[in-house]
Amino acid sequence: MEETKKTPNADRPSRLSKLKSATIEAGKSRTLPGRDEAEAIEYGRQFLNIVARIKGVRVDRQQFLIAELRREGIAHTQAQAAAATSPAAAEVPDEVVTKIARRVINFETNKSTALSFIAGLPGGFALLGTVPGDLTQYFVHSFRIMQKLAYLYGWQEFLEDSKELDDESLAQLALFLGTMIGVGGASNGLVAFAHQVARPAVQKRIARAALTKTFYYPVVKKCLQMVGVKVTKDTFAKGVSKAVPVVGGVLSGAMTYASLKPGALRLMKQLAELPQANSTDRSTH
């Protein structure tokens, strides 16, 4: 009897269906009463919009990819091809991408920790009202890490200078952050988002369902809520840590490094497994 051969993507609809169900279920869980939840979500949304517009947050995708790939000895024409499509599509070796990813994580986390120590000392700065400066720059470096990792693993540019985040960019940032922070369902939500939103085309589609109507919105909402809670909770925790000046500086730095680097490595692992990072999945590009 002749065996029936499965095509590589034959089980994709069933996998996406399972992801969709898991994402919807994960988004149903509630950790706060209705009013508090809504306030945390709105605070998270506003905070991400503000951080995204801070000078120095945006990473220029083309400049970043070409500079980092050239640094690793990749030919200029291949580096340009990677910037025009993706490193995988330009056949940049996986080990090179991994090496760059780990380097940028170390660079941004070490920079964040050093700044956090300075901000934790008496006379430290605050960038956003009552939110301590070290907490703000923690998110600044998170945003920079998210962009750099995304571009290395095949995603297109998603932050524009001095513009309000559109629904797609907000969802993407929220799911990236949720994956870093460890929000339940964020990883599944990111996989589903990668397949159904980011994967079909390089450029954003003109017509798209409102964010609140998408099946992954409950998880996006949960991620925004966690950002809102983290900011308000950490604002209090870091404020208390400054009661003892020198020890406070050390504590703030430890809190930043302890949460930022493992989260960045978690996101790196997740992005490396998505179709955008696969050189054979040319429809991504």
Predicted pLDDT at 280: 53
Q: Is the pLDDT of residue 110 over 50?
A: yes
Angle at 45 between CA 226 and CA 252, to 5 degrees: 55
Distance, in Å, from the CA atom of 239 to the CA atom of 188, rounded to the nearest integer, reads 34
- What pLDDT band is residue 19 in, cutting at 50, 70 and 90? very low
Distance, in Å, from the CA atom of 83 to the CA atom of 26, rounded to the nearest integer, reads 35
CA distances from 202 to 44, 92, 127, 229, 283 (A): 28, 19, 34, 34, 9
Q: Is the pLDDT of residue 27 over 50?
A: no
Is the whole model's pTM more than 0.85, yes or no? no
Least confident segment among 180-184, 189-193, 220-224, 255-259:
255-259
Break the chain into its structural domains and give their ranges: 32-284
Predicted pLDDT at 98: 97
SS3 227: helix
To which residue do tokens 């609140």 refer? 212
Predicted pLDDT at 78: 97
